[in-house]
Structure 1
Amino acid sequence: MTTSEALDTIFSFIPDNILNSFKKRGLYDPILSGQINSSADIYPRLTSAQAIWQNTDYSYLSKILIKYLHHGSILEIGCGSGNLIENLAQFKFKPIYGLDHSRAMIRLAKKRLKNYGQVYLISGKIEDYNFQKMAGINNVIINNFWGLLNKRASIKLLLDIKLNLKGKLIIGPIYEEIPTKIKLAADYLAKNLHFNYSYPLFTNFKQLGYQEKTIEVDGAKYYILSSNI
């Protein structure tokens, strides 16, 4: 496996024609030069054109999640371009907050959600966010984000949420096994470029005082967590 093949593998969720266009514009350059060392560091560098491919349809997921959410407010961590927020807003959850480190993603989310009331979008790094601003939040959702933080940062985030959460924390999707090609590519990049595609997933939520149950959505696990305090 070459470096180029490894990078193509971990970005294989992007359609080939779009990925080739992004590569010509330097998508891989910060990784190859050592300027960034984790997947999380890519997002602040995305242009609006590069961010637009993340356009997953979350209508099915939202219909499942609302069965477990408390009515009221929601904070989505890593909200991207606002796809999931848009679906949840249609079920009358208010207010809804979205936090993302990518300014390009936040710009897209603002366009998508401009006609929805009580939706507030925040550009910032989750490690720096003051969760006391969200004291009493009814629900927190971490979707397609878990694994972008190392263990220490993940635990700190979970404890910060726990102190301010009234209702449910939902984390997912978490797959039992990483596809072999992705794992080999990630191992190659970690060894040769010191680049972390995904940190080990912290899932010992009970240790931190959470009550948990799990549900399965399209072959992936979602954790439904609530605080014991």
Structure 2
Amino acid sequence: MNAYEALDTIFSFIPENILNSFKKRGLYEPILSGRINSSAELYTHLTSAQAIWQNTDYSHLSTVLVEHLIPGSILEIACGAGNLINHLARAGFGPIYGLDHSRAMVRLSRKRLSHHQQVYLILDKIQNYDFQKLISIDNVIINNFWGLLDKRTSIKLLLDIKLHLTGRLIIGPIYSETPANIKLAATYLEKNLHFNYSYPLFTNFKQLGYQETIIEIAAAKYYILSSNI
């Protein structure tokens, strides 16, 4: 295995024709040159052309989550292209705040969600967020982002949320097993390019004082969390 093969493996979830187009636009170059060292950093380098590919169908996910959310306001951390927000806004939730560190993603979200009156988008890192604002938020959602932060940052985020949130925190998807080829490719990249594809997933939420309910959606776990205090 070489670096290109390892990168092709970890990005194999992207359709081949689209991935080839991204590669021509330099998707791998920042990793190979050592300018970025994690998937989270790569995410902020997405161009508008690359961001528009993010069109995941969250209709089923939103239908299930609606049963576990408190009616009212939502903050989605790492909201991406706004697909989940779109479904939740249609379901009557609001106001909804979407936070993302990718300029391209926020730009795309604004276009896709412009018809929703109670959707507000924030371009920033989660580390810069004013968590006191959570006092007026009913739900926080972290979808397809867990694992892009190291353990120390993940725990700090959980504690900051717990200190102010009186509603529910939903985290997922969390899969029980990573495919062997992805593990092999990720190990190669970490060893040879010092690129961290995904950090170990912190899931000991009870240790931090959360009550948890686990639901399964499409073979993945989602944690429904609330504070013990």
Q: In which range does the TM-score fall when normalised by the shorter chain?
A: over 0.9
CA displacement, residues 80-102 of structure 1 (integer Å, 9 cap, x when unaligned): 01000000001111100000110
Q: CA deviation at 1:227?
A: 0.6
**1:45 pairs with 2:45:** yes
Secondary structure of residue in 2 paired with 1:189: helix
Secondary structure of residue in 1 paired with 2:166: strand
CA displacement, residues 97-128 of structure 1 (integer Å, 9 cap, x when unaligned): 00011010001100111010110000111122
Question: Residues 212 and 226 of structure 1 are in contact (CA less than 8 Å); yes or no, is this contact kept in structure 2?
Answer: yes
The residue that corresponds to 2:178 in the other structure is 178
Secondary structure of residue in 1 paired with 2:138: strand
**1:17 pairs with 2:21:** no
Mapped to 2, the partners of 1:133 and 1:168 lie a distance apart of 14
Q: CA deviation at 1:136?
A: 2.9
The residue that corresponds to 1:127 in the other structure is 127
**1:199 pairs with 2:225:** no
The residue that corresponds to 1:92 in the other structure is 92
Structure 2 stretches lacking a partner, 5+ long: none
Mapped to 1, the partners of 2:33 and 2:119 lie a distance apart of 38
| Partner AA of 2:84 in structure 1 | L
| Partner AA of 1:170 in structure 2 | I
Instruction: Tell me the TM-score normalised to structure 2 length.
Output: 0.98
The residue that corresponds to 1:109 in the other structure is 109
Structure 1 stretches lacking a partner, 5+ long: none
Mapped to 2, the partners of 1:111 and 1:191 lie a distance apart of 40
Q: CA deviation at 1:135?
A: 2.2
The residue that corresponds to 1:144 in the other structure is 144
Q: CA deviation at 1:228?
A: 1.1
Mapped to 1, the partners of 2:218 and 2:22 lie a distance apart of 29
Corresponding residue pairs, total: 229
| Partner AA of 1:167 in structure 2 | G
Q: CA deviation at 1:15?
A: 1.0
Instruction: Tell me the TM-score normalised to structure 1 length.
Output: 0.98
Secondary structure of residue in 1 paired with 2:168: strand
Mapped to 2, the partners of 1:194 and 1:3 lie a distance apart of 11
Identity across matched positions, percent: 75
Secondary structure of residue in 2 paired with 1:99: strand
Secondary structure of residue in 2 paired with 1:42: helix
Q: CA deviation at 1:134?
A: 2.7
Question: Residues 137 and 164 of structure 1 are in contact (CA less than 8 Å); yes or no, is this contact kept in structure 2?
Answer: no
The residue that corresponds to 1:64 in the other structure is 64
The residue that corresponds to 1:187 in the other structure is 187
